[in-house]
């Protein structure tokens, strides 16, 4: 089985082209104008079939976000906040560490750092001014570790160091993803309890950030911001090939022409990607803030942010 390049588990399942895969459960529902697809991969064997780690994946789709509709953004951020809260179950006083992956200076890879900028950070308040700290506030810290070529330090090294120092109860990773379908770009959020795996994300992480590697639960939140041009081209090739196979013919010349186009490192994005990333970072951060501060109102969160 061929693995299409996408970070969305639901697209990997679709690409497999089968209605049912043993060990993979898929559910759909709709709420508040958002279409939700749940993919549950029950074990590693099932995961290998679609090229994803075992665990739960929730995909929330809402096309209105791409049109920059305000109501759609609100609906998405509310629903996402609820689902994060369900997945992360806050307990005790230890902080939650929010990690914004990706490169701030590459627009389609900047979702993580930009979402971290809008995350309400509170851990220092407990230490500095404990007497003024609202009892309903929970401890949160956040970091955008940059990328290897910028710091010379691997994200995994940095997070591992911080986990030893901060002893967080859990980690929330935010990252820009790739998808296969054009209409999912900047309109879809994937939430998973499987953490971050090598090769995923626009920045292509090298090492896993998971409960296994870090010792604390890691949930990952991502929004697809690009299609790899090579994926687009390959999809076209597949269509042709299928067609030709039916004819019993070969394809070499055309194949060569398409492949020699050298689009390997190019990406496909909406033209207005800068604005869409800003919106997306706002949606994700609002959802994270609500989930991590369940006892504060939206107004209280906003006024603490400034």
Which of 30, 43, 134, 183 lies at the binding interface for its own copies (CB under 8 A)? 183
Q: Based on the shown chain and the rule CB under 8 A, indicate whether residue 167 belongs to the binding site for its own copies.
A: no
Q: Based on the shown chain and the rule CB under 8 A, indicate whether residue 131 belongs to the binding site for its own copies.
A: no
Question: Of 24 and 172, which CB lies nearer to its own copies in the complex structure?
Answer: 172
Contact yes or no for 216/171 (Cβ under 8 A): yes
Tokens found for residue 293: 């501060």
Can you tell me the distance from the alpha carbon of 119 to that of 19, in angstroms, rounded to the nearest whole number?
39
Q: Based on the shown chain and the rule CB under 8 A, indicate whether residue 149 belongs to the binding site for its own copies.
A: yes
Closest CA to 222 of 283, 265, 268, 270: 283
Tokens found for residue 79: 């629903």
Nearest approach, Cβ of residue 266 and its own copies (Å): 5
Count other C-beta atoms under 10 Å from residue 46's C-beta.
Answer: 17
Task: Using alpha carbons, list the distances in angstroms from residue 183 to 66, 186, 191, 196, 247.
Answer: 9, 8, 18, 24, 32
Nearest approach, Cβ of residue 132 and its own copies (Å): 15
Question: Of 42 and 241, which CB lies nearer to its own copies in the complex structure?
Answer: 241
Which of 140, 179, 281, 283 lies at the binding interface for its own copies (CB under 8 A)? 140
Nearest approach, Cβ of residue 27 and its own copies (Å): 25
Question: Of 68 and 211, which CB lies nearer to its own copies in the complex structure?
Answer: 68
Q: Based on the shown chain and the rule CB under 8 A, indicate whether residue 230 belongs to the binding site for its own copies.
A: no
Nearest approach, Cβ of residue 35 and its own copies (Å): 16
How is residue 52 annotated by DSSP? -
Site for its own copies, residues 238 to 267, rule: CB under 8 A: 239-240, 243, 247, 249, 254, 257-258, 261-263, 265-267
Contact yes or no for 293/138 (Cβ under 8 A): yes
Q: What is the largest CA-CA distance in the chain?
A: 78
Binding mask 51-90 for its own copies (x = CB under 8 A): -----------------xxx--------------------
Question: Of 58 and 62, which CB lies nearer to its own copies in the complex structure?
Answer: 62
Can you tell me the distance from the alpha carbon of 56 to that of 128, in angstroms, rounded to the nearest whole number?
38
Can you tell me the distance from the alpha carbon of 181 to that of 228, in angstroms, rounded to the nearest whole number?
10
Can you tell me the distance from the alpha carbon of 230 to that of 158, in angstroms, rounded to the nearest whole number?
32
Contact yes or no for 189/198 (Cβ under 8 A): no
Which of 26, 85, 181, 259 lies at the binding interface for its own copies (CB under 8 A)? 181
Say how many residues touch its own copies, by CB under 8 A.
74
Which of 92, 131, 165, 248 lies at the binding interface for its own copies (CB under 8 A)? 165
| β partners of residue 30 | 35
Site for its own copies, residues 282 to 301, rule: CB under 8 A: 299
Tokens found for residue 306: 């400034």
Tokens found for residue 26: 């898929």
Site for its own copies, residues 3 to 32, rule: CB under 8 A: none
Which of 7, 11, 83, 109 lies at the binding interface for its own copies (CB under 8 A)? 109
């Amino acid at each position: 089985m061929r693995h299409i390049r996408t970070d969305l588990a639901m697209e990997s399942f679709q690409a497999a082209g089968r209605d049912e895969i043993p060990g993979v459960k898929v559910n759909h529902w709709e709420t508040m104008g958002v279409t939700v697809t749940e993919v549950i991969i029950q074990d590693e064997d099932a995961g290998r079939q679609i090229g994803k780690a075992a665990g739960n994946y929730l995909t929330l789709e809402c096309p209105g976000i791409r049109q920059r509709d305000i109501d759609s953004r609100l609906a998405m951020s509310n629903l996402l906040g609820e689902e994060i809260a369900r997945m992360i179950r806050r307990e005790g006083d230890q902080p939650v560490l929010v990690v914004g992956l990706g490169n701030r200076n590459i627009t389609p890879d900047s979702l993580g750092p930009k979402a971290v900028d809008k995350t309400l950070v509170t851990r220092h308040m407990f230490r500095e001014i404990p007497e003024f700290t609202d009892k309903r506030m929970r401890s949160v810290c956040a970091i955008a570790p940059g990328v290897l070529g910028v710091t010379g330090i691997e994200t995994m090294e940095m997070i591992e160091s911080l986990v030893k120092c901060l002893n967080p109860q859990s980690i929330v990773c935010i990252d820009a993803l790739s998808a296969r379908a054009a209409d999912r770009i900047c309109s879809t959020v994937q939430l998973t309890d499987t953490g971050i795996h090598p090769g995923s994300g626009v920045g292509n992480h090298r090492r896993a950030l998971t409960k296994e590697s870090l010792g604390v639960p890691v949930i990952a939140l991502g929004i697809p911001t690009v299609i790899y041009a090579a994926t687009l081209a390959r999809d076209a090739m597949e269509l042709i090939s299928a067609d030709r196979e039916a004819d019993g013919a070969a394809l070499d010349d055309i194949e060569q022409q398409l492949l020699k186009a050298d689009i390997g490192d190019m990406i496909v994005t909406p033209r207005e990607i800068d604005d869409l990333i800003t919106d997306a970072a706002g949606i994700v951060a609002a959802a994270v803030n609500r989930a991590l501060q369940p006892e504060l109102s939206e107004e209280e969160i906003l006024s603490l942010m400034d």
